[in-house]
């Protein structure tokens, strides 16, 4: 059923925030909260928490499942996040109807700005109903691994690409801030590298390049306080492990272009969210942690942490001392400039931090080491 001329897209399935938390007719009521916490799977470091599959949350999707009246067929999984699961789907058709983009991050006019090409606009969107509610599904081009992938698996190549990749990252953030938009969750896992197009490939050719999807069944841990469930009607029959780009075709991930994703925490600075931010503590600015407040300056703190991470392949605030020789990964000249740049971004007072435009003028972006 897959056509050689078909296009492969990634589909992001937002949690069922559009629907009711009440299960539909014929579906048993969900178990109590403590039962969900006992749902476990093997490979749990690589899979989303199974307890997320309940009313108002994840869309239970299986491989080969068709969505949007058969328009898309799910063939693989790219990853998951706090707001969505990202899958690879085949649209089964050739042509351009799926190139249109819905208004996002300021509207269609932003696509005329060069840096806006690095913001990941959806090609299409549709609504899908499941036992867990109504889900907004956004269709994007297929993208590659997170931006810190290269430094983790090919340190020398990652070093050579850092200058260009880092500049793209800062330019994209500067564009958002110029539109008075705070990303709110700016970190390496939300910044992806490009991927060589999969368009025109048969599904088996896609698997040959990405690897075949692997699945994991789940079990319910026994407990003295409740009777084990015979089934979990709100969960899929199995979970799918994401694509492992370290084992994928190396030529597939040679695209150094940068794409910023996941606007689930984004907000207009004139309307900040009510004292709740979803960014992990490792990238959270002091005002987010202590004052429960934030604006574009919180992105700048996160930018400093992100630049450190993608250059050195480790988190800045991970509780480890950096005196071991394995931490001595860059030249003294680069270390001096990088430290000066980070000092300007990681200032305690938000108003004292360098802006994204000021970061672009820093010597670190105009020197080859």
**Confidence grade of residue 275 (pLDDT, cut at 50, 70, 90):** low
Radius of gyration of the chain (CA): 22
**Which residues are CB-neighbours of 295 under 8 A, at least 6 positions away?**
182, 269, 272, 350
Per-residue pLDDT, 140:
83
Per-residue pLDDT, 166:
93
Is residue 211 left, alpha or beta, with left meaning phi > 0 and alpha meaning psi from -120 to 50? left
Per-residue pLDDT, 322:
59
Is the per-residue pLDDT at 202 higher than 50?
A: yes
Per-residue pLDDT, 48:
76
Residue 60's Cβ-side half-sphere holds a number of Cα atoms within 13 Å equal to 16
Per-residue pLDDT, 236:
86
Per-residue pLDDT, 114:
47
Per-residue pLDDT, 161:
79
pTM for the full predicted model:
0.78
Is the per-residue pLDDT at 369 higher than 90?
A: no
**Closest CA relative to residue 60, chosen from 30, 15, 91:** 15
Helix/strand/coil (H, E, C) string of the chain? CCCCCCCEEEEEEECCCCCCCCCCCCCCCCCCHHHHCCEEECCCCCCCCHHHCCCCCCCCCCCCCEECCCCEEEEEEEEECCCEEEEEEECCCCCCHHHCCCCCCCCHHHHHCHHHHHECCCCEEEEEEECCEEEEEEEEECCCCECCHHHHHCHHHHHHHHHHHHHHHHHHHHHHHHCCEECCCCCHHHEEECCCCCCCCCHHHHHHHHCCCCEECEEECCCCCCCCCCCCCCCCCCEECCCCCCCCCHHHHCCCCEEECCCCCCEECCCCCCCCCCCCHHHCCHHHHHCCCCCHHHHHHHHHHHHHHHHHCCCCCCCCCCCCHHHCCCCHHHHHHHHHHHHHHCCCCHHHCCCHHHHHCCHHHCCCC
Give the pLDDT confidence of 9-33 residue by residue, as tens digits: 666 555 444 433 343 444 444 444 5
Structural domains of the chain, with CATH? 8-110+122-143+196-240 (no CATH), 149-193+272-365 (1.10.510.10)
Kindly report which listed range (92-96, 148-152, 176-180, 242-246) carries the lowest average pLDDT score.
Answer: 92-96
Written as six digits, the tokens of 196 are 């060589």
Q: What is the mean pLDDT of residues 119-125?
A: 72
Per-residue pLDDT, 137:
83
Kindly report which listed range (46-60, 180-194, 204-218, 226-240) carries the lowest average pLDDT score.
Answer: 226-240
Per-residue pLDDT, 26:
42
Mean pLDDT highest for which of 75-89, 210-224, 301-315, 323-337?
301-315
Written as six digits, the tokens of 36 are 């969900």
Give the pLDDT confidence of 138-166 residue by residue, as tens digits: 888 888 898 887 777 666 666 667 888 99
Paired residues of 182 in beta bridges: 267
Per-residue pLDDT, 231:
61
Mean pLDDT of the chain: 76
Per-residue pLDDT, 45:
56
Question: How many whole angstroms separate alpha carbon 214 and alpha carbon 243?
Answer: 9
Per-residue pLDDT, 246:
87
**Confidence grade of residue 257 (pLDDT, cut at 50, 70, 90):** confident
Virtual CA dihedral for 241, 242, 248, 251, nearest 10 degrees?
Answer: 170
**Confidence grade of residue 99 (pLDDT, cut at 50, 70, 90):** very low
């Amino acid at each position: 059923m897959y056509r050689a001329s078909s296009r492969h897209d990634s589909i992001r399935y937002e949690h069922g925030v559009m629907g009711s938390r009440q299960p539909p007719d014929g579906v048993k009521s969900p178990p109590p909260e403590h039962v969900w916490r006992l749902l476990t799977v093997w490979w749990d470091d690589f899979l989303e928490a199974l307890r997320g599959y309940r009313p108002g949350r994840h869309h239970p999707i299986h491989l080969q499942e068709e969505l949007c009246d058969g328009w898309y067929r799910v063939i693989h999984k790219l990853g998951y996040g706090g707001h969505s699961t990202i899958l690879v789907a085949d649209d089964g058709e050739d042509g351009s109807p799926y190139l249109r983009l819905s208004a996002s991050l300021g509207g269609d006019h932003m696509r005329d700005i060069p840096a806006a090409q690095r913001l990941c606009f959806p090609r299409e969107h549709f609504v899908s109903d499941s036992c867990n509610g109504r889900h907004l599904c956004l269709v994007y081009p297929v993208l590659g691994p997170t931006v810190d992938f290269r430094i983790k698996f090919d340190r020398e190549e990652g070093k050579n690409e850092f200058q260009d990749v880092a500049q793209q990252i800062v330019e994209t953030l500067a564009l958002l801030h110029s539109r008075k938009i705070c990303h709110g969750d700016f970190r390496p896992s939300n910044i992806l590298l490009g991927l060589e197009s999969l368009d025109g490939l048969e599904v088996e050719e896609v698997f040959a390049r990405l690897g075949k999807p692997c699945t994991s069944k789940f079990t319910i841990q026994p407990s003295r306080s409740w009777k084990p469930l015979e089934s979990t009607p709100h969960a899929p029959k199995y979970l799918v492990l994401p694509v492992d780009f370290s084992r994928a075709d190396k030529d597939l991930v040679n695209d150094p272009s940068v794409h910023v994703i996941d606007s689930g925490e984004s907000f207009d600075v004139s309307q900040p969210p009510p004292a709740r931010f979803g960014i992990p503590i490792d990238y959270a600015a002091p005002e987010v942690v202590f004052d429960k407040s934030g604006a574009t300056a919180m992105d700048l703190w996160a930018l400093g942490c992100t630049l450190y991470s993608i250059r050195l392949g480790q988190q800045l605030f991970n509780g480890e001392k950096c005196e071991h020789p394995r931490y001595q990964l860059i030249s003294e000249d680069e270390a001096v400039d990088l430290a000066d740049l980070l000092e300007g971004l990681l200032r305690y007072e938000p108003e004292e931090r360098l802006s994204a435009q000021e970061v672009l003028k820093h010597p670190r972006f105009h020197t080859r080491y």
